[in-house]
A and B are shown apart, each in its own frame.
Chain A
Amino acid sequence: MEEDESRVNHTRVGILFDRLRWEEKEIFHEFEKRGIVAELIDSKNIVAEIGRSQSLSLPSLVLQRCLSFHRAFNLAATLEAFGTLVVNSSSVLEICGNKLLTSHLLAKNGIPTPKTAVSFSLESALNAIEAVGYPCVMKPIIGSWGRQVVPIRDRETAEALIEMRDQQAGDSTNSIFYVQELVDRPPRDIRCITSGGEIIASVYRYAPPMSWKTNVALGGRTEPCPMSRELEEIVIKTSQAISKDGILGIDIMESKSSGYVVHEVNGTVEFRGAQQATEKSIAGLIVQSVLARASDARSETKDRLEEKDSERRKNVLSAMQQTSRP
């Protein structure tokens, strides 16, 4: 690893952000410890002239840490078009940022996941809910931190929720109804962080008092989660299905009826909560694997990277076709 790191010392490295949080500062310091002064790139200031990579002075490696999904995905695609290696790549962000695409990929790869249905109009929303059955949860396909995640326990609530969604203006994804079974589980879930295909942290996330949502952003607390062989297999399989090179936050529930189920994969993982329950520096492990990735990438041509991205896109489309068959 030391050799890998020294080889990339001459590489310009950037951290792309829209809000500089504790995580980004930790990552910056970990680069600094390895003799690399990462460039902090405020995504809000970027102006890219299409087809003119010289319009931006970009590092050869950029760690994507934007909070906004649309900004992160489109900026990653832009920087990639200009020849920069972005971690996570736009294709990984696209899958992780869209719960529907994530579900298709999990299903295609035989990874246990909660029963899920989707419909694309107000008229068919109730059918999607009843296909999953009560109790279930309706989630926006794009979004995080448990926002607009609503439990539905009976038909009355379902009808009221559909009516409310009908009256919500502004977000075109409001007409996509993504419905998942409400998994009977302990009041916690598991967050595993993988980087470069290896598990670097595993924690339980407990819901705060008077809440059923385990998001640390909502006040959930963390505890170390011991890694069983079964859990490890599921996490590694998920990581490989989405990106063997990426940095992923894989969320798993312990279903009382069907064991471990993966319900979400995050492409811009927050780890402040997880760090409180683990001794090793998560930022340090992320930086270590990113630098190894950068070193490996030197031997790959730009064409090869594009080919791999195209392959991943095809896999998602293929997964969508397969899961749409009756």
Chain B
Amino acid sequence: MYSHTEKGGDNWENMASANATKCPECGGVLKIQEDVVVGEIVSCSDCGSDYEVASIESGSVSLKVAEAVKEDWGE
């Protein structure tokens, strides 16, 4: 039901106007909320991997691997 294509290794696109895709890390279901916006983080509920919404065009959501937490992150 959900197809996605590899884009440069790290990015892939949820080609359908679907609300879920497969987590490339563990194969679990990655749920994408309908009101998701570019820049938002989508986390895999199975393995905890984080993905960032790179773009949304015509209902097609492109994701990329989110930056890992770094030492200077915080408030």
- Interface residues of A, Cβ cutoff 8 Å to B: 17-21, 24-25, 40, 42, 44, 67-71, 97, 140, 142-145, 147-148, 171, 217, 249, 266-270
Contacts and interface: CB of A to CB of B under 8 A. Distances in A.
B71 A17 contact: no
**Contact size class for B?**
10 to 19
B47 interface: no
A143 B52 contact: no
Contacts of B52: 19
Given A18-B67, A19-B66, A68-B70, A144 B75 contact: yes
B74 A20 contact: no
Contacts of A143: 71-72, 74
Nearest to B74: A144
A295 B40 CA distance: 30
Contacts of A142: 71-72
A98 to B, nearest CB: 10
A217 B70 CA distance: 15
22 contacts: A19-B41, A21-B41, A40-B37, A40-B38, A42-B38, A42-B39, A67-B73, A67-B74, A69-B72, A69-B73, A69-B74, A71-B72, A143-B71, A144-B74, A145-B73, A147-B74, A171-B71, A266-B74, A266-B75, A267-B75, A268-B75, A270-B75
A249 B75 CA distance: 8
A249 B67 CA distance: 25
